[in-house]
Structure 1
């Protein structure tokens, strides 16, 4: 593994840790994020729609150019909602 790959993984981990801290400090973010994901998960470009609404309605700011950590978080939201729907 190259130094650049290691640095990139460290950056993604640090970004995810900052986000997790934000969610732990403001637990309403988690429920709001899931609510938004439920609304958009079946739409084309679901991750983009979720990111835009999260950015406009919470203090979670996901830029237009999603980082690796942003993509992981958005994919996780969609997966959680799909798992919820599969249970019913």
Structure 2
């Protein structure tokens, strides 16, 4: 998992739009019954981040973090 996270962090550092796009996509699907699946599919289609159909622990962690950031945003308002 460490190596996968390392590759992910390098991608985010080399393309700062990944975080912005990922958050936009997460906001779009927030509250949907299958939000994680929809987010994973659209993030994979629109960024250099590839989330396969069979999620690794790192993929699950990334999706969880997106939800946490959305919750933090909501708490600010």
TM-based fold match above 0.5: yes
- Matched pairs, number: 77
Q: CA deviation at 1:17?
A: 1.1
Stretches of structure 1 that go unaligned for 5 or more consecutive residues are 1-11
1:85 maps to what in 2? 74
Task: Return the alpha-carbon distance in structure 2 between the equivalents of residues 50 and 79 of structure 1.
Answer: 14
CA RMSD of aligned residues (A): 0.8
Task: Return the alpha-carbon distance in structure 1 between the equivalents of residues 56 and 69 of structure 2.
Answer: 20
Stretches of structure 2 that go unaligned for 5 or more consecutive residues are none
Q: CA deviation at 1:87?
A: 1.2
Larger radius of gyration: 1
Q: CA deviation at 1:13?
A: 1.4
TM-score norm. by structure 1 comes to 0.83
Runs of 4+ in 1 over 4 A off after TM superposition: none
